[in-house]
C-alpha cells in the first residue's frame, strides 16, 4: 500500500483525560490528525463505515461495548478499515483474541510515543504491528502450541506468495498469478525466509504447515 502523506484517525478511549492527552500527543506529529474522538464501542460502530479517516485506534476495554466486541462486529460486517488496538494488558488470551478477530496491531499503553507513531504508520498503510515488549510472549506461543499469529509477521502479499509456494509453484508461475515481475517475487521470498528463519522453500513450506497456514 502506498505511503499516506496524511493519516486521519478515529480515536476511541473511555477515559476522557487519557484520550485528550493522547490526541494531543498524536497531533504533535504533523502527519497525523484525530478527526473523530469517541468514548464507547457503540460510537465507534456508528462511525465505522463513514469516510474521512484511515485508521481506528481504540482501547481494548471500551465501556458499553468492549474493544474486542467492537472489533468483532466491525469485521463481521466486512469492514476492513485498519484497526490498532491499545491496552495495558499483556495477557496472551486477550491479545490472541484481538489478532484472531482481525486487529491489525496491538499497542501497549506503556510504550514510548515514538513507537505509537510507528504503529500508526504501519497499520494505516496496510502492515501489521505488535509492541516489541510482547515479542517474548509470541515466542512462548510458538514453543508451547506450535502455532504463530503469522498475520503479524508476514505482509498480505508475502502470505500470498507463501501460499503459492505451499502449492509448489515456481517463481515464474507465481509472478504470472500475482501480476508482478519475477524479481519482485524473489524479493518477497527473500523477506519470507528472513522473517520465518528458514533457508529454503522446503523449510518455509514445512514451517508454514506447522503454523497452520493454508
The grid coordinates of residue 102 equal 482481525
Every domain range in the chain assigned CATH 1.10.10.10: 150-210
Specify the 3-state DSSP secondary structure of 81: coil
pLDDT(143) > 60 = no
Query: Could you report the per-residue pLDDT of 93-120, keeping only the tens digit for each?
Result: 788 788 888 899 999 998 888 999 999 9
Give ranges for CATH 3.40.50.2300 in the chain. 7-133
Alpha helices in the chain (DSSP H): 16-26, 41-47, 67-76, 92-100, 113-124, 135-145, 156-166, 171-178, 182-196, 201-210
CATH number for domain 7-133, candidates 3.40.50.2300, 3.20.20.140, 3.40.50.150, 3.90.550.10: 3.40.50.2300
pTM check: above 0.85 = no
Distance, CA of 150 to CA of 69 (rounded, Å) = 22
pLDDT band at 42 (very low <50, low <70, confident <90, very high): very high
What mean pLDDT do residues 177-206 have?
90
Which fold is adopted by the domain 150-210? Answer: Arc Repressor Mutant, subunit A (1.10.10)
Amino acid at each position: 500500500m502506498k505511503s499516506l502523506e496524511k493519516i486521519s484517525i478515529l480515536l476511541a478511549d473511555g477515559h476522557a483525560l487519557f484520550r485528550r492527552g493522547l490526541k494531543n500527543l498524536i497531533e504533535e506529529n504533523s502527519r497525523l490528525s484525530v478527526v473523530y474522538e469517541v468514548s464507547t464501542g457503540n460510537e465507534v460502530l456508528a462511525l465505522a463505515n463513514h469516510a474521512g479517516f484511515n485508521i481506528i485506534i481504540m482501547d481494548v476495554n471500551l465501556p458499553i461495548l468492549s474493544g474486542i466486541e467492537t472489533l468483532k462486529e466491525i469485521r463481521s460486517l466486512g469492514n476492513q478499515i485498519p484497526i490498532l488496538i491499545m491496552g495495558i494488558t499483556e495477557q496472551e488470551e486477550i491479545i490472541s483474541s484481538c489478532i484472531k478477530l482481525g486487529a491489525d496491531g496491538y499497542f501497549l499503553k506503556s510504550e514510548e510515543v515514538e513507537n505509537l507513531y510507528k504503529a500508526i504508520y504501519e497499520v494505516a498503510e496496510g502492515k501489521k504491528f505488535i509492541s516489541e515488549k510482547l515479542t517474548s510472549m509470541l515466542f512462548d506461543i510458538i514453543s508451547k502450541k506450535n502455532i504463530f499469529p503469522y498475520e503479524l509477521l508476514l505482509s498480505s502479499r508475502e502470505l500470498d506468495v507463501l501460499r503459492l509456494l505451499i502449492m509448489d509453484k515456481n517463481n515464474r508461475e507465481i509472478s504470472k498469478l500475482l501480476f508482478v515481475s519475477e524479481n519482485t517475487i524473489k524479493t518477497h521470498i527473500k523477506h519470507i525466509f528472513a522473517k520465518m528463519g528458514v533457508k529454503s522453500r522446503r523449510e518455509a513450506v514445512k514451517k508454514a504447515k506447522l503454523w497452520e497456514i493454508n
